[in-house]
């Protein structure tokens, strides 16, 4: 069984500031981990994924995440926030390739000018 | 790349009517598709796994007689909300595993979602 906890349902940063969205997971098997972004009334867009290769994963739009097994974490970061980054972000875990995903509660990122 | 479409993108219906939502994999085949429900300002919750040629697998607490799933072909799964009520109003999203471009890894591709409003 898998579960995901996203700390902080809302995160607010200033434009140009560091973005840090936290994700901790629980999995009984080696996990596959994902970060998705969702804009209002739209589906999910994959930002990046960890599939047991490199622990530091780079994604689209300047985002990256680091898999830390000892901390069971997969936090998402971006060095400099842009107004267009304002959206809902979901961390998800699956037990294998193509398997169904278990999502965290989501974090709404707000970017202040 | 792998694309998943949903139709309709939004629907408004009267209480007691049935609504069908289609999920299509446009450029790849999917023997399995997943249906999620998302209430406002909440996360996605898996409702069921749709299996081509066999019965869907429902998550605990999801009424299979209310949410009928049919996976008639390798590119189409449908979700029918029967006798819809206002509490069924939600955002319904499907996904299908497929190969990303240049990758040997099966990842989930999501449809754009269907907004259902039951009056």
Interface test with A, best of B7, B25, B34, B43 (most A CBs within 10 A): B43
> What percentage of chain A carries pLDDT values higher than 70?
97
The residues on B that touch A, with CB distances below 8 Å, are 6, 32, 34, 42-46, 49, 91, 93, 95, 97, 105-108, 110-113, 115
Summary mean pLDDT of chain B = 91
pLDDT of residue A94: 87
Q: Are A92 and A29 in contact (CB under 8 A)?
A: no
Tokens of A40: 């209002």
Which residue of chain A is at minimal alpha-carbon distance from B110? Answer: A44
Contact across the interface for A97 and B108, Cβ inside 8 Å: no
pLDDT of residue B97: 87
User: CB-CB: which of A42, A49, A51 is closest to B112?
Assistant: A42
Contact across the interface for B49 and A43, Cβ inside 8 Å: no
Contact across the interface for A100 and B46, Cβ inside 8 Å: yes
Summary mean pLDDT of chain A = 92
Check whether B104 has a pLDDT greater than 80.
Answer: no
pLDDT band at B108 (very low <50, low <70, confident <90, very high): confident
Contact across the interface for A101 and B95, Cβ inside 8 Å: yes
> What percentage of chain B carries pLDDT values higher than 70?
93
Q: Are B117 and B89 in contact (CB under 8 A)?
A: yes
Q: Report how far apart, in Å, the C-alpha atoms of A38 and of each of A1, A35, B10, B118 are.
A: 25, 10, 17, 23
* Residues whose CB is less than 8 angstroms from the CB of residue B26 and which lie 6 or more positions away in sequence, other chains included: B3, B4, B5, B75
**Residues in A touching B97 (Cβ below 8 Å):** 97-99
Q: Are A67 and A75 in contact (CB under 8 A)?
A: no
| Mean pLDDT on A16-26 | 97
Q: Are B62 and B90 in contact (CB under 8 A)?
A: no
Q: What is the pLDDT of residues A85-109, one digit of tens each?
A: 999 999 999 876 567 889 999 999 9
Q: What is the pLDDT of residues A27-41, one digit of tens each?
A: 888 888 999 999 987
Tokens of B3: 């694309």
List the one residue out of B78, B98, B23 whose CA is nearest residue A43.
B23
């Amino acid at each position: 069984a898998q579960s995901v906890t996203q700390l902080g349902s809302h995160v607010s940063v200033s434009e140009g500031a560091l973005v840090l969205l936290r994700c901790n997971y629980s999995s009984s098997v080696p996990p596959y981990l994902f970060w998705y972004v969702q804009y209002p009334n739209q589906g999910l867009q994959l930002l990046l994924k960890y599939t047991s290769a490199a622990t530091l994963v780079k994604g689209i739009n300047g985002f990256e995440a680091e898999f830390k097994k000892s901390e069971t974490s997969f936090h998402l970061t971006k060095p400099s926030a842009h107004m267009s980054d304002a959206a809902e972000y979901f961390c998800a875990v699956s037990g294998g390739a193509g398997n169904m995903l278990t999502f965290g509660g989501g974090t709404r990122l707000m970017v202040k000018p | 790349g792998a694309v998943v479409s949903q139709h309709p993108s939004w629907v408004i219906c009267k209480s007691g009517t049935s609504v069908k939502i289609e999920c299509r994999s446009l450029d790849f085949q999917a023997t399995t598709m997943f249906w999620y429900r998302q209430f406002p300002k909440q996360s996605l919750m898996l409702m069921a796994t749709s299996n081509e040629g066999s019965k869907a697998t429902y998550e605990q607490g999801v009424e299979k007689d209310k949410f009928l799933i049919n996976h008639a072909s390798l590119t189409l799964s449908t979700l029918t909300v029967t006798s819809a009520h206002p509490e069924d109003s939600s955002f319904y999203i499907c996904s299908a595993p497929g190969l990303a471009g240049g990758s040997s890894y099966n990842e989930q591709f999501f449809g754009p979602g269907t907004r259902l409003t039951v009056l």
